[in-house]
Structure 1
Amino acid sequence: MPASTSDNDWTMDVDLVAMTHDTPMPEPWRCNMTVEDVLGNKHTEFPNDSHNFERFVKSFPIEPCRLKKGTTQFEQWQADNLREGQDEWYPFASEAEWETVHWLVTNVGQSAVEEYLKLDITKSRSKLSFSSRYKLNKKLNKLPTGSDWECEPITVKGDRVDRHGKPLTEEIELWHRNPVKCIHELIGNPAFKDHLAYLPEHVFGNIEETNRLYDEMWTAEWWWKIQESMPRGAFVAPVILASDKTQLSNFGSDKSAWPVYLTIGNLSKEIRWRPSCHGTVLIGYLPVAKLQCFSKSVRSLEIYWLFHKCMSKLVNPLVAAGKQGVEMTCADSLIWKIFPILAVYIADYPEQCLVACCKENQCPRCVVPPEERGELLETRHLPHTNIFTSITPDILHQLHKGVFKDHLVKWCTTVIGADELDARFNAMPDAHGLRHFKKGISGVSQWTGKEHKEMQKVFVGVMAGAVNNKVLTVVRALVDFIYYAQFQSHTTTSLNSLRVSLELFHKHKDIFVDLEIREHFNIPKLHAIQHYIDSIKELGSLNGYNTESPERLHIDFAKEAYRASNRHNFLVQMAWVHNCLPSLLAKPPKDPDSKPVTKQGTTEDEDEQTLTQPSPSTPSLTPAFYRIAKVAPFRRMVAELETLHGAIDFVPALSTFLKQLNPKSRIEPSCYDRFNVYKKLAISIAPNRFLSSESRTSQLWATCAQPHEGCKKPMPAHFDTALVIEDLGVYKAKECLMEQVRVAQIRVIFLLPPQFSSHPTPLAYVEWFTLLRHFDTTTGMYIIQQSTHAHHHNTSIVSIEQLVRSCHLMAKCNTKIDPDWMSDNVLDNAPFLYLNSHFDIGLFSHIKM
């Protein structure tokens, strides 16, 4: 800890310490950077996985400065309640009343709340401490709230005149909050204490400093450059703004809202865009005005002018704060002098052009001539802000919807025809977590980002064989680019791969001109992707600035708030709801012995159990835990396994496994034995630093066909494929994963009966595919086939410790797909198969990096 001269002063003596690599037991990686961390460089080591690369951190060099201790708003409110003798649920009578109020505020309109409180059953049984909406609102006003909302009326004078010859006017309202106070609330929230950074840092994947890492904003270049220009004792709060106009109702209403969101780069990106964490706040509603007082010829231009006028009013407090700094009590209870600087503006393409004051056929970041947009090219008042470079890439609209769906898919459909494309999608083998387009894609009328992502997972395999190698190279290059761009943590190597994919596309893109599908490539969204690498280096990985995040926030900040209003003068009601909602959602923690909550926020299923199997000799990529049903849903004889699951060599495979498990045992399995059989198994996947520091799970299903029963439709059999370590004894975690695993199809998941031997984990009967030796450079995928001997599948029984993760296989087709190939038989009928490298980003990173 820093030395202190008094109880209220903290002195930070900061020296750069040479990076070392001698920690025998590394501490878990943390996304935050505390005062103690500023004192020198940290080294954190991940488990022995080539993708859990080590982090060598060089902190920003700063001069010693003195920080005073302060009290956060929450601490002050808590102390006041304690002094007044209030309990943790104040101003509500109990936890049950808190839950009732939470439900009323977030789900019920104002008039419906009044009706609910007047019901006899509510009065007699609920026994709430308030009896009317008015009294409820008084209690809500006692909660600690954020900065106050202000309504600023704006009179717009048009160029049209009324019958008396006077100019027509329109009265509009701008609802906004002070962004500096909102920043203070975020950076001073004790819940974010372990997720905040106050200084930039340079992170490397090796001690030689040749492999730079980019993930959080504080690991990129922009913050480092800005901090160098700051005076002694000054610290930067990178301001991130996002705006997106949205409809408030999907049922015939013409009412819209234009929310403006604010968050800060000091906060970890995994926290700031998670709605339940409230790391992003609403700072204003821009007016959605039709401006009928103007003639049609100038109306659009005046709407643009109104946007800039309102935005200038909204961000005006940032001007003085960015120049002079503001003392803020941060989450660590220290008073820092914060300089809020606008760093990022997140918007879709039309709003990007609106912010940058350019036409919608131009680039909002650079001055490229329109005729050169398809070629590979080598807010003035806000301090330290370049509004053009603050406009970040938009993966949702530029890549998923733009370059991929609106352009690449259309070009390829023209090449092979819609019928052939649909047939190939229809014959795609099913897998858990993968959408199966049973009727193809030509009939899909409503497209969202989710559908675009699902198409990308199989699109290269769909096009393979149907088009020539040049077209396939362009397809693979663009899909690879989309996957690299979605990495949550980048390295010098991954950025180079991103660049190579873009160059490969531009090298071969003229094939679509030769096929007379395109005349040019002067496409704004295609040009925009050239700025991706610069943005990552300046501001960190792009998942922290995707427009999907603010669109998700519309649910809480716009649509649900609108539903909670009475639909009349709704903006003031929406503002009031959001002023008290964060405090209302900050529920005190329950008993620590309560059930654990998963990453998705739901408790684990009661019919499943989580078992941990610690083993010092087990490689890091094998399951650290698995989740399976407490009670096996089936108990089946060997004959049933052979007919229902296709496990025709189950007995010989089990005999081999038992001999390896206990060579001295004389017990032999027979066709009369019964086994507890499971439908699915969930195994953990080791953290992948290209994705996230959090571990993920992979579900593996092995279910036989289900006949028609009542209203339930018949279900075909489903047997997932997985990457399996064939021999744990020779596996080396630091070496390339793909060189040490084989693909296998899981036919049965079962427990070993106690009469044979004891085994700590469930087992799986698998059918092997050939080794991963043939890599096709055009598709970027491995080519495999069924592993057989004398026309029989090579099979084994393996422990689930050998299962690494799920995977997906696709048929290697010719120019026309075999009409007999369907989703449920293509793995058995296709002579050659692709290991789908785009099944998910985690598998993609293992194959490509």
Structure 2
Amino acid sequence: MAPPLSYVASAEERYGDVLGRINNIHAPFASKMDWELHPLVREALGLSYSNSVQLNAIIDAKLPGRPKFTHSEVVVGGEAFELYSRNIIECVRALFGDTDFAPYLFVIPERHYADQDKTIRLYHNMHTGKWWWNMQKQVEANNPGATIIPILLSSDKTQLTMFGNKSAYPVYMTIGNIPKEIRRKPSRRAYILLAYLPTSRLTHIKNKAARRRTLANLFHTCLSFITAPLRTAGIDGISIASGDGVTRRGHPIVACYIGDYSEQLLVTCVKTGLCPTGTVKYKDGESTCGARSLEAILDALDRLEEGGTVYTQACKEAGIKPVVHPFWQELPYTNIFLSITSDVLHQLYQGTIKHPIEWLKEACGEAELDARCRRLPPNHNIRLFMKGVSNLNRVTGREHDQISRFLLGIIVDAVRGILDFKSIFVDLGIRTDFNLPELHRCEHYSPDIKLFGTSDNYNTEYTERLHIDLAKDAYRATNRKDEFSQMTLWLERKEKIQRHHKFIEWKRNGSPLPPIVETLHPGIIYERKLTMPKHPTHKAVKFTTLETAYGAPFFRDALSRYIVQLTDPSLTLNQIEHEANSFDVPFNSLPVFQRVKFSTSDTYANNGPTDSIVDSIHVQPQKILKNGDQIPARFDTALVNIGIGGKTGISGYRIAQVKVTILPPNIVPPKYLAYVEWFSAFKPQPERYHSMYKVSRSIKNGDCLASIIPFGPVAPVSCKSHTVLDECPTFFANPWTDRHVYATLY
């Protein structure tokens, strides 16, 4: 599918051609100093420009960049509105042709499986979803050799000022050919600001219904103008070059529209309270959501010329509002109702999670809920809310994300999962129904993932972050008058400077070809790697201190067993114990580390692991500050591969509490060792009602089982966060703390 058509110059070579092939790599600037020096000293040094006006003139006239913004007037209801937008086809070319993305671009759909029998399908980036596969078939039927370019659009109004009513209505776009691991990083510039929509509130229209109708028509008129080039390009295709110089015939097609619930209703022309994706029907207390008939809706939209009354009635019967020419009406291959994607930020973190928190306050009581929060043991990827969660104000999406990682664990004796515990709140009289759009949307996550890949492909969290760079910062650079013309110009210049900086670095590095990235085997899950400090926290800690302050009473015995077994691996357990009893460790102190960092690759990345520091394991005894304050001891737990664990699944894994991490002498390989106390092995299946594994400390003759390894219903008053691991008899292994633990335990 989609074979390359030909080869042209790479993106960097084409950029150099625009500037002119000259020896000065900083051109159109006279020299490196001319390019990098601060404007205040340029005139004294006789540079090519002496003020910002002359500098901007060079940038505007001589530096190529991403597509320019154009100022247009859109007329709706006899009133003209200002629209600042870019050519969407040129934006597609800019993203697809970026050299930074060339080694990673997806150009054909793929099916990935977790098993050799191909019975368990894997979904991650967009090219692994069913939408791309089906679209390739449809387009190929008429245009063999097509390359699908999935377009993701997103819009959201945002405030520009802390006070007053200045706002912007940006529309962003990206393409699904770029991996989500790149798209979610603002610094990679994988999103383009496509337009600023008019922000008029039409307050002169006094009738609220008429005002809402006009605002909807204005939105769709603007989007129709912006997306108009896709009507022919999606069918016939366009010649498009990637950053490595390979040209293909690309078919840009709107695949996803990313937005919060109100934006989804505006895009689909569906009434408030309804599902923007399908029609919900209730029977015997159960609800089912059937797909909307795009054909019936398009037939209703075609009846506009029959008059307002007929058109309104036809749209009502089809289940939409009577918007004049929705922008998606003439887009090829686009079913806008399937394009509306689930939104983790607004629908889960800011929507679904906030409801059970409020219900649990009534079910358990705020004091009990907060008490359980304070008694969670500290660990990496878990934020402790030591003051509880009941009194939090203006909770952000990130805080709801952090709360959701442990919420089920602290109330597991009271309720189960978000989709299973509804009846409990009805029985308690906390809720009478659950007709909430956020809860209903949970039904669409599985279909959305199968269509477009995992939900981090289309999360509004990323586009919300773009408001800072592409709206708020741009506004601050203006004089607050006729701001949008200044904002767009400021953004164009900023993009040109960034692009030229990248070109100069490319020239300085000898004009290298784009790197070739080997596509890794689908379904492989990469393990965590340890990143140790260069120097230990303490150079020499005596064994007696390890046994008392670090809570490792059997450290000397465990180390003896480890050395004996390392010396002769053929010994049986009884022989190891016998030899260890008479073994004399030839030293009595060791260098100790109190923090171990994790360098983790993306669990589901397909184009190479992207290492990032996730967090740290803390291994530190109680500390008394100079003012007398005490910092409690902290010894984190870890999921340990005992040597037979695979990439996924619980087999071969045990949970252990890390009490000491040491740098042994050269006589004891490997380089790093840890003294751990074990928890019981995992049962074959998790607990029935909440899918968590129950474990307890491994005890023998009243003592915790420990080794040296290479590298209740009501919260008790006496139990604290730093003592809970010692005082509680059983624990639940939580698979939802992060994606890596989920891949192993769930």
TM-score (norm 1): 0.73
SS of 2:111's partner is strand
Rate the CA distance shift 1:797–1:208 in 2: closer, same or farther, 3 A.
closer
Structure 2 residue corresponding to 1:356, chosen from 243, 268, 287: 268
Q: 2:726 is matched by which residue type in structure 1?
A: D
1:188 equivalenced with 2:188 (yes/no): no
Shift of 1:292: 2.8
**Structure-2 separation of matches of 1:153 and 1:371:** 49
**Structure-2 separation of matches of 1:681 and 1:66:** 47
Q: Deviations over 1:521-572 (max 9, x none)?
A: 2222222222222222222222101111111111211122222333332212
Alignment of 1:668-683 (within 5 A): 668-669=584-585, 673-683=588-598
1:705 equivalenced with 2:622 (yes/no): yes
- Per the alignment, residue 549 of structure 2 pairs with 644
Shift of 1:817: 1.7
Shift of 1:145: 1.3
1:763 equivalenced with 2:673 (yes/no): yes
The percentage of aligned residue pairs carrying the same residue is 33
SS of 2:287's partner is coil
Rate the CA distance shift 1:299–1:81 in 2: closer, same or farther, 3 A.
closer
- Per the alignment, residue 109 of structure 2 pairs with 200
Q: Deviations over 1:130-176 (max 9, x none)?
A: 43111221232222212121111346668xxxxxxxxxx6x641100
Structure 2 residue corresponding to 1:716, chosen from 632, 637, 657: 632
Q: Is the 8 A contact 1:629 1:678 kept in 2?
A: no
Q: 2:724 is matched by which residue type in structure 1?
A: V
Rate the CA distance shift 1:211–1:99 in 2: closer, same or farther, 3 A.
farther
**Structure-2 separation of matches of 1:95 and 1:631:** 43
- Per the alignment, residue 795 of structure 1 pairs with 706
- Per the alignment, residue 351 of structure 2 pairs with 402
Q: Deviations over 1:563-621 (max 9, x none)?
A: 2333332212221222233342243448889xxxxxxxxxxxxxxxxxxxxxxxxx998
SS of 1:798's partner is strand
Q: Is the 8 A contact 2:673 2:709 kept in 1?
A: yes
Structure 1 residue corresponding to 2:532, chosen from 615, 627, 639: 627
SS of 2:674's partner is strand
1:772 equivalenced with 2:691 (yes/no): no
- Per the alignment, residue 571 of structure 1 pairs with 484
Rate the CA distance shift 1:209–1:844 in 2: closer, same or farther, 3 A.
closer
Q: Deviations over 1:788-838 (max 9, x none)?
A: 3333322222211xxxxxxxxxxxx11x22111111111111122222222
Q: Is the 8 A contact 1:150 1:175 kept in 2?
A: yes
Alignment of 1:736-751 (within 5 A): 737-751=649-663
**Structure-1 separation of matches of 2:106 and 2:23:** 35
Q: Is the 8 A contact 2:280 2:287 kept in 1?
A: no
- Per the alignment, residue 391 of structure 1 pairs with 340
Q: Is the 8 A contact 2:282 2:288 kept in 1?
A: no
Shift of 1:253: 4.1
Q: Is the 8 A contact 2:149 2:175 kept in 1?
A: yes
Rate the CA distance shift 1:211–1:829 in 2: closer, same or farther, 3 A.
closer
Rate the CA distance shift 1:156–1:331 in 2: closer, same or farther, 3 A.
same
Matched pairs, number: 673
How large is the Cα RMSD of the aligned pairs? 3.1
Shift of 1:179: 0.3
Q: Deviations over 1:58-101 (max 9, x none)?
A: xx4x7xx78233345542221354622221x3344666765667
- Per the alignment, residue 56 of structure 2 pairs with 137
Q: Is the 8 A contact 1:723 1:744 kept in 2?
A: yes
1:331 equivalenced with 2:279 (yes/no): no
Q: Is the 8 A contact 2:74 2:221 kept in 1?
A: no
- Per the alignment, residue 269 of structure 1 pairs with 180
Rate the CA distance shift 1:658–1:224 in 2: closer, same or farther, 3 A.
closer
Q: Is the 8 A contact 1:376 1:530 kept in 2?
A: no
SS of 1:340's partner is strand
**Structure-2 separation of matches of 1:173 and 1:143:** 27
- Per the alignment, residue 291 of structure 1 pairs with 202
**Structure-2 separation of matches of 1:367 and 1:345:** 19
Rate the CA distance shift 1:681–1:95 in 2: closer, same or farther, 3 A.
farther
Shift of 1:345: 0.7
Q: 1:70 is matched by which residue type in structure 2?
A: V
Shift of 1:421: 0.7
Q: 1:364 is matched by which residue type in structure 2?
A: P
Q: 1:397 is matched by which residue type in structure 2?
A: H
**Structure-2 separation of matches of 1:140 and 1:582:** 10
Worse-matched range after superposition: 238-247 or 304-313? 304-313
- Per the alignment, residue 440 of structure 2 pairs with 527
Rate the CA distance shift 1:392–1:66 in 2: closer, same or farther, 3 A.
closer
**Structure-2 separation of matches of 1:444 and 1:315:** 42
Unaligned runs of 5+ in 1: 1-59, 102-116, 159-168, 479-501, 594-618, 801-812
**Structure-2 separation of matches of 1:413 and 1:660:** 53
Shift of 1:690: 8.0
- Per the alignment, residue 234 of structure 1 pairs with 146
Shift of 1:518: 1.9
Q: 1:513 is matched by which residue type in structure 2?
A: V
Shift of 1:433: 2.7
SS of 1:300's partner is helix
Structure 2 residue corresponding to 1:279, chosen from 177, 180, 190: 190
Q: Is the 8 A contact 1:621 1:733 kept in 2?
A: no
- Per the alignment, residue 300 of structure 2 pairs with none
Q: Deviations over 1:669-704 (max 9, x none)?
A: 37x823211121124456633899435555211112
SS of 1:660's partner is helix
Q: Deviations over 1:497-524 (max 9, x none)?
A: xxxxx6xx3xx63333222222222222
- Per the alignment, residue 149 of structure 1 pairs with 69
Q: 1:659 is matched by which residue type in structure 2?
A: V
Q: Deviations over 1:7-50 (max 9, x none)?
A: xxxxxxxxxxxxxxxxxxxxxxxxxxxxxxxxxxxxxxxxxxxx
Q: Deviations over 1:627-667 (max 9, x none)?
A: 32335445322233233222222222222222223369997
**Structure-2 separation of matches of 1:211 and 1:779:** 23
**Structure-1 separation of matches of 2:662 and 2:33:** 43
Q: Deviations over 1:193-217 (max 9, x none)?
A: 1121223233334454333332222
Q: Is the 8 A contact 1:679 1:703 kept in 2?
A: yes
Q: Is the 8 A contact 1:706 1:714 kept in 2?
A: yes
Worse-matched range after superposition: 568-577 or 543-552? 568-577
Structure 2 residue corresponding to 1:509, chosen from 403, 418, 422: 422
**Structure-2 separation of matches of 1:372 and 1:365:** 22
Shift of 1:329: 2.6
SS of 2:265's partner is helix
Q: 1:681 is matched by which residue type in structure 2?
A: V
**Structure-2 separation of matches of 1:409 and 1:689:** 30
1:411 equivalenced with 2:359 (yes/no): yes
Rate the CA distance shift 1:83–1:687 in 2: closer, same or farther, 3 A.
closer
**Structure-1 separation of matches of 2:671 and 2:525:** 17
Q: Is the 8 A contact 1:246 1:256 kept in 2?
A: yes
**Structure-1 separation of matches of 2:545 and 2:115:** 54
Q: Deviations over 1:315-360 (max 9, x none)?
A: 1222232233322233342332222211111111000000111122
Shift of 1:459: 1.0
Q: 1:442 is matched by which residue type in structure 2?
A: S
**Structure-1 separation of matches of 2:369 and 2:601:** 36
Q: Is the 8 A contact 1:372 1:522 kept in 2?
A: no
**Structure-1 separation of matches of 2:702 and 2:148:** 68
Q: 2:677 is matched by which residue type in structure 1?
A: E
**Structure-2 separation of matches of 1:387 and 1:144:** 35
Q: Is the 8 A contact 1:370 1:522 kept in 2?
A: no
Q: Is the 8 A contact 1:426 1:439 kept in 2?
A: yes
SS of 1:90's partner is coil
**Structure-2 separation of matches of 1:463 and 1:79:** 64
**Structure-2 separation of matches of 1:526 and 1:172:** 37
Q: Is the 8 A contact 1:688 1:842 kept in 2?
A: yes
1:832 equivalenced with 2:730 (yes/no): yes
